[in-house]
Structure 1
Amino acid sequence: MSDAAGTQQLFTEYYGHAPVGVWSAPGRVNLIGEHTDYNDGFVFPFAIAERTWVALGDRADRVIRVATSFAPDPVEIHLDDLAPHAVDGWAAYPLGVAWALGRFGADLGHVRGVDLFITSDVPVGAGLSSSAALESAVALALDEHWGLGLDRPTLAKVGQLAENEVVGAPTGILDQSASLLSEPDSAVFLDCRSLDAEVIPLHFTAEGLSLLVIDTKVTHAHATGGYAARRASCEAGARGLGVSSLRDLDVDDLDRARAVLDDETFRRVRHILTENRRVLDTVRTLREQGPGAIGPLLDASHASMRDDFEITVPEIDLAAATAQANGAVGARMTGGGFGGSVIALVADDRVAELTAAVRAAFAEHGFGEPVIFTEQASAGARRDA
């Protein structure tokens, strides 16, 4: 029952009274720009059709209680007890948002508690940012219900802080920004240093192109070591090159970086600098030539993630290579890596052929069957009821 009406009904059945409203936020696909966000760089994500819904009901006390269709037991905590280490598991996401709102100026000492019920059809662990969808829906709901008046870029920071400090995942602001700022048939060109955002039309449908998502079913978790290790390498590279962030460098600095850094750190830095350039080139190419011309940039991004950043896995590389060999305009892993999904931009009339080729390749290699579906660039977070 993952829609506004179904979530509203589940809330009523669970708590015994109707909610005051239902809010939702989408997952996202990152078209290009991976691991650049926490390096103050450029990203280019868009919202997907799959969403997370949050129904909210008022309480007379100061307890916040969360329940969900995907876990058996509710979690509750007094608003005065909210703290980074006070909750864990799935509830760390919504309750972390409540805590983080207080860090961005909300006076949590003068608000009443709430009951929340959460449903979602965003695939978990697929690199489509189910976590940011949850954080963004809760942030929008609490901001409106509590009358906080925070703008959407600030709510994106709230979600990021919750994920960093409460969940314990050192992610950047890409996912929350995509979930909160996206518009239909468009992607969000975001400067993660200034947080300036521009909505860029994609025109996939008009050009007869489909965006295919290949969920390898290899799940990942950003709170585990690989993601954090990559971030630490980027910070070490910046220190070694005497800058506060890799955003302060460009591809012209790579020769100096090679001379100063060890090989692994150099390759991590090279991915970030070339990926920033690829994001800028993708936006320019879309404007000047249209979506059919961005394929080589997608392919180059995947190669960089595979060889320099080393965040792919065999299933991911097979999906990308098979898509590239079977008619895709371009294909790359999307998301933080170590599993998740590949996106392939493909002509509408070749979707079935490419899908069959990927399924056959996975079977031949003894991998589990992937889940393959097309995506539409969709609207961002909203109130639904």
Structure 2
Amino acid sequence: MSTGRAARVFRAVHGTACEGVWAAPGRVNLIGEYTDVNDGFVMPFALPHLTRVAARARTDGRLRLHSAAAPGAVVEAAAAELVPGAAAGWAAYPAGVFWALREAGHAVTGADLHIESEVPAGAGLSSSAALEVATALALDGLYGLGLARPELARLAQRAENAFVGVPCGAMDQIASACCADGHVLRLDTRDLSRRQIPLDPAAHGLRLLVVDTRVGHQVGDGAYARRRAGCESAARALGVRALRDVPYAQLPAALEELAGIPGAGELGVLVRHVVAENRRVEDVAALLDAGDARAVGPLLTAGHASLRDDFAVSCPELDLAVAAATGAGALGARMTGAGFGGSAVVLAEEAAAGAVEKAVTGAFAAAGHRAPHVFAVAPGAGARRVA
């Protein structure tokens, strides 16, 4: 896919030239899973894979949507009729962004959009956030709204929360909007303070691999929402605003307190994961600041064990990917994203990366699983206008 192709297809579908093409990337979360819905810390980086939106403003209050992934139809809606639940499938995401902008008081009167995406859908790499952020950036550009990137990301998150109905945190949209080339983003999801930390795997003789298990990843089926609700219940039981406010040193005491509260004891595993995961984010940031990227590996693997055993959001394919990778000499590996399928991220020595990939694909074949898609990544740039 290319920017030129997006512009050409826009003309073919909508009968006129677009005013520009905007793009936003998917993301890999290096460390910090389910911490964003607990006001905690995360550390994502942008993928080189982009979602592109070719766009043109309309003045008639109509929104016309076309996707290369569903080439047979144009989805059309009246701006005044857009309410949560009014759109379904892929169209709900750009329609939700249009709705969120209007709800926030921005004068967007309509648009023709054509969407093309390289971000694998259902792979836990934030294809939905890439679509939302690219759409928001396109509308911002068309109408000269002048939105700061964090504000744009928050509106994209609102679209997913309130319009699509997925109670995600802010990480995915912030990562897509704000990441910088050659850096991971250390993000405090409570106040959205951000720090770009350099990470150049090749300069350290390392390679980052993504293993897309090709197991469908769905966050809208209730399992994600139940875990978020459990974390919120645990925070109330502990008398804190969010689990981010439980210091790591006080984790044993917090678990003991929960165990003594009727009906709340089963929440302890959620607390243990979130509190320890916040600590892992801080530890990874310190290691990268010190230039010791290799030492990050064991923290990734520990994070996967916590997601598998405490948070219970892994799956056999993700567990196999992590076990096969580390068994073949990878420095560390973990599932990335909300889980229940999707992808794993692997940190390996450059010289060992081929053997790690071979071990993972061989393990999947031996287990009778569908062949995974394994590819190398490096931190890329966030959302931008591309034409």
SS of 2:201's partner is coil
Q: Which letter does structure 1 place at the counterpart of 2:122? A: G
Give the corresponding residue for 1:176: 173
Task: Note the C-alpha offset of 1:73.
Answer: 1.9
Between the aligned partners of 2:26 and 2:17, the Cα distance in structure 1 is 26
Question: 1:241-287: CA deviations, max 9, x gaps?
Answer: 01121111122222232223244310011100000010011000111
SS of 1:222's partner is coil
Aligned pair 1:382/2:381, yes or no? no
Q: Which letter does structure 2 place at the counterpart of 1:75? A: V
Give the corresponding residue for 2:261: none
Aligned pair 1:257/2:254, yes or no? yes
Between the aligned partners of 2:223 and 2:78, the Cα distance in structure 1 is 34
Aligned pair 1:50/2:27, yes or no? no
Aligned pair 1:73/2:77, yes or no? no
Give the corresponding residue for 1:319: 321
Q: Which letter does structure 2 place at the counterpart of 1:90? A: W
Between the aligned partners of 1:65 and 1:96, the Cα distance in structure 2 is 13
Between the aligned partners of 1:105 and 1:148, the Cα distance in structure 2 is 11
Task: Note the C-alpha offset of 1:358.
Answer: 0.7
Give the corresponding residue for 2:38: 39
Between the aligned partners of 1:203 and 1:352, the Cα distance in structure 2 is 19
For the Cα contact (< 8 Å) 1:219–1:340, is it kept in 2? yes
Between the aligned partners of 1:322 and 1:103, the Cα distance in structure 2 is 48
Q: How many equivalent residue pairs?
A: 381
For the Cα contact (< 8 Å) 2:61–2:79, is it kept in 1? yes
Aligned pair 1:7/2:9, yes or no? no
Give the corresponding residue for 1:125: 122
Task: Describe the shift of the 1:320–1:106 C-alpha distance in structure 2 as closer, same or farther (beyond 3 A).
Answer: same
Give the corresponding residue for 1:366: 368
Between the aligned partners of 1:142 and 1:41, the Cα distance in structure 2 is 30
Task: Pick one of 331, 337, 340 that aligns with 1:338.
Answer: 340
Task: Pick one of 225, 229, 232 that aligns with 1:228.
Answer: 225
Between the aligned partners of 1:13 and 1:103, the Cα distance in structure 2 is 31
Between the aligned partners of 1:112 and 1:97, the Cα distance in structure 2 is 13
Give the corresponding residue for 2:299: 297
SS of 1:294's partner is helix
Give the corresponding residue for 1:243: 240
Of residues 289-298 and 24-33 in structure 1, the stretch that sits farther from structure 2 once superposed is: 289-298
SS of 1:184's partner is coil
Residues 209-228 of structure 1: matches in 2 within 5 Å? 209-228=206-225
Question: 1:31-82: CA deviations, max 9, x gaps?
Answer: 0000100110000000001000000023241101111111132211111222
SS of 2:45's partner is strand
Residues 100-179 of structure 1: matches in 2 within 5 Å? 100-107=100-107, 111-179=108-176
For the Cα contact (< 8 Å) 2:7–2:54, is it kept in 1? yes
Aligned pair 1:86/2:86, yes or no? yes
Task: Pick one of 293, 306, 309 that aligns with 2:311.
Answer: 309
Aligned pair 1:99/2:99, yes or no? yes
Between the aligned partners of 1:263 and 1:209, the Cα distance in structure 2 is 42
Question: 1:286-316: CA deviations, max 9, x gaps?
Answer: 1114211111111110110011101000000
TM-score, normalised by the number of residues in structure 2:
0.96
For the Cα contact (< 8 Å) 2:200–2:378, is it kept in 1? no
Gaps of 5+ in 2: 259-263
Task: Describe the shift of the 1:289–1:20 C-alpha distance in structure 2 as closer, same or farther (beyond 3 A).
Answer: closer
Between the aligned partners of 1:165 and 1:306, the Cα distance in structure 2 is 29
For the Cα contact (< 8 Å) 2:255–2:271, is it kept in 1? no
Q: Which letter does structure 1 place at the counterpart of 2:20? A: G
SS of 1:6's partner is helix
Between the aligned partners of 1:239 and 1:58, the Cα distance in structure 2 is 46
Task: Note the C-alpha offset of 1:99.
Answer: 1.0
Task: Note the C-alpha offset of 1:366.
Answer: 1.3
Q: Which letter does structure 1 place at the counterpart of 2:297? A: G
Between the aligned partners of 1:239 and 1:163, the Cα distance in structure 2 is 25
Task: Note the C-alpha offset of 1:151.
Answer: 0.4
Runs of 4+ in 1 over 4 A off after TM superposition: none
Identity %: 50
For the Cα contact (< 8 Å) 2:35–2:278, is it kept in 1? yes
Between the aligned partners of 1:103 and 1:203, the Cα distance in structure 2 is 40
Q: Which letter does structure 2 place at the counterpart of 1:130? A: S
